[in-house]
Every structure is written in C-alpha cells, then in structure tokens.
Amino acid sequence: MTEHTHLYDLWLASITDLSNKKKNSLLAVLASPERIYHADAAELRATGMLRAKDIEKITGRRDLAPAEKARTLMMRRGIVYISREDPRYPERLRQIYDPPVGFFAMGNEAFLTSEATLAMVGSRNATPGAERTARDFAHAFSEAGITVVSGLADGIDAASAEGALSGIGSTIAVLGTGIDRCYPASNRALYDRVAAEGLLVSEYFLDEPPLKGHFPQRNRIISGLSDGILVVEAREKSGALITASHGLEQGKNVYAVPQDIHRRQSVGGNQLLKDGAKVVTEPGDVLEDYGPLQPAVKTPSVDAEAPAVTLSAEEAALYHWLQKGILTVDALVQVSGEPIQQINALLMMLELKGAVAVDYGQITLLAGS
C-alpha cells in the first residue's frame, strides 16, 4: 500500500457519520477510497445507494489535511490502519456480514492471525464470582494457546483481559470508541497494558467518542475475530447476547457458564443454555473443542541475540525492549521511562543501522541485522 493510498483510506474512515454498510456498498461499485474521493455528486448519485445528505457528507469533506494530521498522530502513537486490501486483514473478519472497511490497531498485530481465538463476554456489572471465573478461565485459555477476545468494558471484559495477560498468551480488545480514546477511563492501566502486550482494535476513527450505537456494532467484530464465544454472565438484555447471536449467525460455537438462577445477571446466560449453548463449568469444556494448540506467546518470534551491528548502550537498552515484543513508541515510553523524543531519536539510529524498520509507527525487528 502506498502512502498516497493510505491517506485516502484514512479520509474515508474519518467520515464517521457515513455507515460502514454504505461504505462497503460504495467500494463495491467504485472500487477504492480514492475513486470515492474524486467522484462528483452525479457519479455518487448514480450508484443508487446514497441519499442527498450522504452525498453531501462526501463531497463536503474533500480535504486530505485531516487524514494527514491523523497519520502523524498514528505514527507517534504506534497506531496502524488495516484496510481490506491489506494482507494483514484477518480472514476470519472477511467472512462476517458487513465486515469493517478497515480498522485501526495498536499493539502486536500477530494476534490477528492467532491459531485459536475465543471471545469472552458478559455483564459490565458482574458479580464477584463471575469476574473470578472470567479471570481464571481466561488465564487457562491463554496458557493453552488461545487468544482471548473481549471488549475492554468493566466487569467480565476487563477480568477476561486481565486473566489472558496473566498467562503466556494474550488478548485482543475490540473498542466501541476510537482507538486513541480509553473508555471507561478507569480502565486506563489495562488499556495501556493491552497495547503493550496484546492488541487494541477499533473500526472507529481515532478519537471517536463512546456513542451508544457503537457497542452493538463492535460486537460483530468481537465474534468475527473469534472461533467461539463464551458468555460468562449476562442479563436478559445484554450486549453479550448480541455477540453470541452474531456468533451463531457466523457459525461459531457458543458456550455459557451456568449461574445463580436467583440473580438478574444470570438470566441471559442461563437462557442461552436452554437454547442449546454448551455448558462450561471448567476450561476443559471449551479446550476439548479446540484440540492441541501451539501457545501464542506475547513476544513475537525473533532472534534473541543482539543484532550484528554495533549499538550504543542506549540503543542496546531500547533493542532489549523491542526483543520482548514492545513494538510501539508509546509502549516503549511506558516501559523505559524515557521521553518520547529520546525514543524516536534512538529508533532513527536503529533504523539507519538496519536493525529495525519503522512503518506508520509499527516497529519491526529485521532478521539478520
């Protein structure tokens, strides 16, 4: 993907009030964001899929400056944008209804192609027992080689992410906000840890706020990235049940943990069991459906030796963190305690020495360097 093409992708992503479904329909006719950008009102109208106000949303925003500003921020924050034309776009996600035109990611992209994935979902206002179950089960799945997918909300989401991070594997957190916005703010430490050790994903533009409609929409991505969906605890009307419903539509296995019949938080999950979801009372109930797995460890597969070039003490210290899978600028700042200007200067020297490559803020160790 050229830098020029990438700007048009970001431009289309920035039109937040044009639905993903309409963007998909436009791309089916006009083939690329660049064609959409340059299409006049008559050409857009001729597609037969846009109302007058939709056309105005496109023609009234023909300016790449916001996309250029976004790209600068992304490079600084270690955020990448993965369009459907990008080979990094996961095959699991291509198969769902209304797949995202593209999405933003921050962290270790290798988890997008994990051998095995499992969504763990449930109530924000979870009972302590359900949170403990989520944490313990997620740890077991992580140790077994399953990448846990959740939404990073309070309750079951947060407990599942914490449990996965405590194992040798990791987690993907799919956000209902822009990727550069942590919601809820109380989960900031967990957000930062997932960015450093796992992967954050969002189809929404960088600083998009937590609008109500975003969360049901993002649930299709949670299920889409997952081979199965485990509902730990859910009320009768719950976003977790929406995720489970998406999973059923996508042909995924749906699991549920039986809970106390006297609690409102249990009604939705227990109903899933009545409807045929598999009963899960221990991690093995899920693991038996996955078979033997290769654990998906947090650190990427890289040579643990120092590169075959001379590094200064500061460069060697930074390279040490890179070898541990800390591959974004913000994460390096967090773990090293160095100012961002120093990190960028050291990365530039490492790149000049052929030890690393930096592309849109994503750092790659070069083999044989």
Backbone angles phi, psi at 167, to 5 degrees: -95, -175
Edge-first strand listing for the sheet containing 253-256? 79-83, 102-107, 199-202, 171-174, 147-150, 117-122, 228-233, 253-256, 278-279
What CA–CA distance (Å, rounded) separates 283 from 298?
A: 21
Residue 210: CB atoms within 10 A of its CB come to: 15
- The CATH number, out of the four listed (3.90.25.10, 1.10.10.10, 3.20.20.70, 3.90.550.10), of the domain defined by the range 313-365: 1.10.10.10
pLDDT in tens, 43-72: 999 988 889 999 998 998 888 998 999 988
pLDDT band for position 308 (cuts 50, 70, 90): low
Backbone angles phi, psi at 329, to 5 degrees: -60, -45
**Cβ atoms of residues 107 and 328 within 8 Å:** yes
pLDDT in tens, 261-274: 878 778 888 888 88
| Residue reference for tokens 């083999």 | 367
Report the pLDDT value the prediction gives residue 332, as an integer from 0 to 100: 79
- What residues form DSSP beta bridges with 17? none
What CA–CA distance (Å, rounded) separates 122 from 326?
A: 30
Report the pLDDT value the prediction gives residue 334, as an integer from 0 to 100: 67
Task: Give me the torsion for CA of 128, 133, 134, 135, rounded to 10°.
Answer: 90
Where are the chain's structural domains?
4-75, 105-288, 313-365
The answer on pLDDT for 305 being more than 90 is: no
Class of domain 105-288: alpha beta
**Cβ atoms of residues 195 and 104 within 8 Å:** no
